[in-house]
Structure 1
Amino acid sequence: MDCPDKATIVDERIDRILTQYRESPNLIGIIRRDLNELADIIVTSCSMPSEFDILSAVGDQLTLVGKRLGWPRCHCICVPVPVFGFECASPDPNQPIVGLCEDGVWAGCQEAGDGDICLDDDETYRRYLLARRYQARQLWDIDSLQAAARHVWGDAARVVSMGGGRVAIQPGRVLTSLEEIQLPVAFRVLPLAPGITPHLSSEVGEIFGFGSGWGGLCDGSTWLCPQEFNPYICA
């Protein structure tokens, strides 16, 4: 938005003064002073909407945008405790498996806890808010879910309908350790229709399949082997 020039605002109003009053410099001075104060308010308020644009807002302004969308910066999540074991299939995202000397515990010996995670980084928070728009508008179609996932993880993210009320969500790249921790928050912000069970696919690259949009058998494509992911339970 182009904001008006302060001098232009004042001069336009001064030009409207009737001729018989223009011969009084004192009156003109009083009017000009008051107009300058009003012009300051007009110019300042003009730039305010852009400070709350979801694409450019930062800091407290972006936090307020998030509150209007019903998506605060901080969320309470379950923190899974890694357990000792051997991976013989695709890993369960709700129950990480670690080696004997990697600070794990025996299964059943310690329950997962909970803790707060905050999206302090503005760009990370912005991506989540862009995804939240689809959820807030109750856009439950697969294309909206695909678009929201790409806001969170980037253009490589992919969504595959598995039928039977199940959907596989593939970030499409190796996640950072922080992004792994944020997975419960990410799945909560995605526009998943009520009754749809989300699954997490950790595969990177094309998924093997037949027809347009799928990878081939000999081009490095991987099988789709997603694991059910519940962003609310403490495993």
Structure 2
Amino acid sequence: MSVQKDVDNYEDQINKLAKAVAFSVNIVHSGESDAAKDNMPFFVNKDKFKLNPDGTIESLGEDEIDASNIGVNSAILDNVMNIKAGAGDNPGENDGKRALAIAKLRNTLFKIQNINLSQIDRERFIEDLTGGLVENKDLGVYTLESNLNGMTIDNYFKDTVDTLGIQENEARRIIGNQEKLLSNFEERRTSISGVSMDEEMANLIQFQHAYGANAKIISTVDELLDVVVNGLKR
């Protein structure tokens, strides 16, 4: 039960990371805090996302994104010109300012550890877990401010992996100690109730020699009695 609880905890942490990546990139990519107004999200729930032939979105499924279903929008995979890389609202603009703003998210602090997996959307993500959606005057795009109580995406992932490594080393140490303890118990039990083949063979040889010696004594006594009885007759 303890191991399963740890596994579930790590799954939750990775799912929080996936949501943080999806929400932050989609927000900057679209400049929208409302997912319903985003007609070209970058990351989607690949199991839920549906795009109609006319380009409208039938089902976004962004709120249900986790590590098992996160994927890049199929419309972007089919045509990279749908990526909003420029400062303008139109896809295909190539000044790269919005792409640079997305790249800067790597150093932005988010309260990823406080994400509620069952109750989270873009607006709550912005309000509760970031420093707000503000306009970057230099780039001319809306981007996310850091939350001083948060951590970067890289550091969050690194902390998760480091914690897993520490737990693995601790588990290996406990297993080693338990194996030594079990071995000691086995040796003690064997010393009390076990059978040693070498010891039993030595006992058999000892009993064999004792039997042979007794037989020799009996044979000698028999000879002595024979001498006495027959001698008296004569």
TM, length-normalised to structure 1: 0.25
Instruction: Indicate the structure (1 or 2) with the bigger Cα radius of gyration.
Output: 2
More helix by share: 2
**TM score, norm. by length of structure 2:** 0.25
